[in-house]
Structure 1
Amino acid sequence: MSQADVRRRVSSRFLTSELRLIAVRRRNQVGLAALAAVPVVLAVAMKVASPEGPPDRGDGPNFFSQILGNGFFVALAALGVELTLFLPIAVSMLAGDAVAGEANQGTLRYLLTVPVGRTRLLAVKYAGIVMGAFVAPLTVAVSGLVVGLLLFGGGDVTTLSGTQIGFGTAVLRLLLICLYLGVCLSALGAIGLFLSTLTEQPMGATIALAMLTVTSWILGQIPQLDWLHPYLLTRHWTDFGELLRDPVSPGGLTPGLLSAGAYIVVFLSAAWARFAGRDVTS
């Protein structure tokens, strides 16, 4: 292998260019703005609503009921709301456009003749998806935390175990929640990358991935399909609540991380197998 080949292999120019393209693309900026706007709308609605807040229906951690006492919970409530639809759609847009977008614009063949190997191309595209998967929940959390503190103030946070932790510790827990959700959404992105290698229409891959996510949520609510629940993509996404217990039990997060890891390995392998043998005509 020549010295030039070695430099090309280790060069981060392609990755840097891809990340910059994702960051400056207008639709991605608008998408992040929309994600950040949801906590603002939520906090304002809670501020002007009845002081009693929404009733506790007993169907899981009711972060809404605690917002009025501590603005920290705006971030958690917003993450819970957006996790079912808005966050998956944001990742679906990135993943669906990864390969299919290049094919649709006629630039895929050009990229492969630069030269950029197919494996390297997939790796860089997935790195961009992963970046989006981590930035999206972090954007929601930061927006919710800021607007929550402005409207409701802060202070010690009551955990799901009934104990109290300091605000700084709670913010660290919030960061860990964003990291956990980033891993979960990266698994969704791996499926999207595979779908993106199957078509030249990015919108088709995006819609298919979004529908798959919604279907997973719906199937998870049907008791008669409890045999299927452990294998659903979204099965463990709401396990982030384990990070709000005192003490935190790592075992509560392990199933979600293992599930996400399995999805990532399987669908990245499928994407590579599909793309490696695909005839690129555009």
Structure 2
Amino acid sequence: MSSVATAGPGAGWALLASELSVLFRRLRTWAMLIALAAVPILIAVAVKLSSRPATPGRGPLFLDRITQNGLFVAVTALVVCVPLFLPLTIGVVAGDTIAGEANLGTLRYLLLAPAGRVRLLLVKYAGAVAFCFAATATVAASGALAGVVLFPVGPVTLLSGDTISVGESALRSLLIAAYITVSLLGLSAIGLLISTFTDVPVGAMAATIVLSVVSQVLDNLPQLEWLHPWLFSHHWLGFADLLRQPIAWTSFGENALLQAGYIAVCGALAYAKFSNKDVLS
């Protein structure tokens, strides 16, 4: 049964405000953010208490530089969180977007509001995007704080060999956080799409998380090199260009274009499915 939006633009903003309020008042949301914030703290404490410095080339990227400069804690934590922790939390939020409402029986009331199916999908996706920003910012902020407290902070030497000030290095960290946030937008769209196919949110969450793992596994198989540029996880760790002087924006642009493609395709498929889904019976 199709619904038609008869409310003005103000209804969309009110629905978005309600969605964000519900999302960030949930205990589950705060538990995930606290868990993400704990990752850089644990990394910093482990390095601080270690009796020997990290060996270059072993462990996560930039781990061996933390003791010389605490600003690398945030970058190292983001590298650690990208393959599993961030996709896991994003999968939980994105998979719950539509399926969660259907499971609770509130989806029919949202559509009778009248919100309209397109508007509801956009609002649900906007909520998932907001969580992407919050999750990445939490890791970056926690890492920066732990680094400043536990280690010396000073000018940073980039991959290109150039040295930049503390202020500019903080800006580079924000750019890396933005890059990773953009990287997760495609996964959020996939989660939204899967969420329209089921009324069981746990199933949608699990499927989204599994797909993120599968994509990364495929991206590491040299036999499937032809497929790598099309995988949504292909550019997740491709922010090295942001640590050079001058900044090369090629990888950022390619990543944004890839994620935009996934958003467009998954968004269209989600609407096609959701527009024909009978949730009012």
**TM-score, with structure 2 as normaliser:** 0.95
- Once residues 142 and 23 of structure 1 are traced to their aligned partners in structure 2, the CA distance between those partners, rounded to angstroms, is 18
Deviates more, 1:240-249 or 1:69-78: 240-249
Percent sequence identity over aligned pairs:
47
Conserved in 2, the CA contact under 8 Å of 1:134 and 1:181?
no
Conserved in 2, the CA contact under 8 Å of 1:216 and 1:233?
yes
2:271 counterpart residue number = 272
- Once residues 237 and 94 of structure 1 are traced to their aligned partners in structure 2, the CA distance between those partners, rounded to angstroms, is 19
Equivalent residue letter for 2:185: S
Equivalent residue letter for 1:25: R
SS in 2 for 1:115: coil
Which residues in structure 2 correspond to 1:190-229 (within 5 Å)?
A: 190-229=189-228
- Once residues 157 and 52 of structure 2 are traced to their aligned partners in structure 1, the CA distance between those partners, rounded to angstroms, is 19
Question: How big is each residue's C-alpha offset from its partner over 1:50-103, in whole Å with a ceiling of 9 and x where there is no partner?
Answer: 33213425x9x8310100000010001100000000000111111111000000
Equivalent residue letter for 1:41: L
Which residues in structure 2 correspond to 1:108-147 (within 5 Å)?
A: 108-147=107-146
1:33 counterpart residue number = 34
Conserved in 1, the CA contact under 8 Å of 2:235 and 2:251?
no
- Once residues 172 and 255 of structure 1 are traced to their aligned partners in structure 2, the CA distance between those partners, rounded to angstroms, is 21
Conserved in 1, the CA contact under 8 Å of 2:47 and 2:53?
no
1:99 counterpart residue number = 98
- Once residues 18 and 275 of structure 1 are traced to their aligned partners in structure 2, the CA distance between those partners, rounded to angstroms, is 18
Conserved in 1, the CA contact under 8 Å of 2:96 and 2:201?
yes
SS in 2 for 1:247: coil
Question: How big is each residue's C-alpha offset from its partner over 1:229-277, in whole Å with a ceiling of 9 and x where there is no partner?
Answer: 1111110111122111111011232211111111111101111111011
Deviates more, 1:61-70 or 1:40-49: 61-70
Conserved in 1, the CA contact under 8 Å of 2:71 and 2:144?
yes
- Once residues 229 and 80 of structure 1 are traced to their aligned partners in structure 2, the CA distance between those partners, rounded to angstroms, is 19
| Deviation of 1:190 (Å) | 0.4
Q: How many residues align?
A: 276
1:151 counterpart residue number = 150
2:10 counterpart residue number = 10
Question: How big is each residue's C-alpha offset from its partner over 1:12-46, in whole Å with a ceiling of 9 and x where there is no partner?
Answer: 11110100111110000000000000000010000
Deviates more, 1:101-110 or 1:45-54: 45-54
| Deviation of 1:281 (Å) | 4.7
Equivalent residue letter for 1:21: V
Conserved in 1, the CA contact under 8 Å of 2:43 and 2:73?
yes
Equivalent residue letter for 2:49: V
| Deviation of 1:9 (Å) | 2.6
RMSD, matched Cα: 1.6
- Once residues 186 and 263 of structure 2 are traced to their aligned partners in structure 1, the CA distance between those partners, rounded to angstroms, is 5
Unaligned runs of 5+ in 1: none
Conserved in 2, the CA contact under 8 Å of 1:97 and 1:196?
yes
Equivalent residue letter for 1:250: W
Equivalent residue letter for 1:267: C
Equivalent residue letter for 1:266: V
Conserved in 1, the CA contact under 8 Å of 2:61 and 2:79?
no
Unaligned runs of 5+ in 2: 1-5
Conserved in 1, the CA contact under 8 Å of 2:32 and 2:89?
yes
Equivalent residue letter for 1:228: L
Stretches of 4+ aligned residues off by more than 2 angstroms: 8-11
SS in 1 for 2:239: helix
- Once residues 262 and 179 of structure 2 are traced to their aligned partners in structure 1, the CA distance between those partners, rounded to angstroms, is 15
| Deviation of 1:219 (Å) | 1.0
**Are the structure 2 counterparts of residues 50 and 56 from structure 1 closer, same or farther at C-alpha, using a change threshold of 3 Å?**
farther
Equivalent residue letter for 1:37: A
- Once residues 10 and 104 of structure 2 are traced to their aligned partners in structure 1, the CA distance between those partners, rounded to angstroms, is 27
- Once residues 272 and 132 of structure 2 are traced to their aligned partners in structure 1, the CA distance between those partners, rounded to angstroms, is 23
Equivalent residue letter for 2:47: M
Which residues in structure 2 correspond to 1:70-109 (within 5 Å)?
A: 70-109=69-108
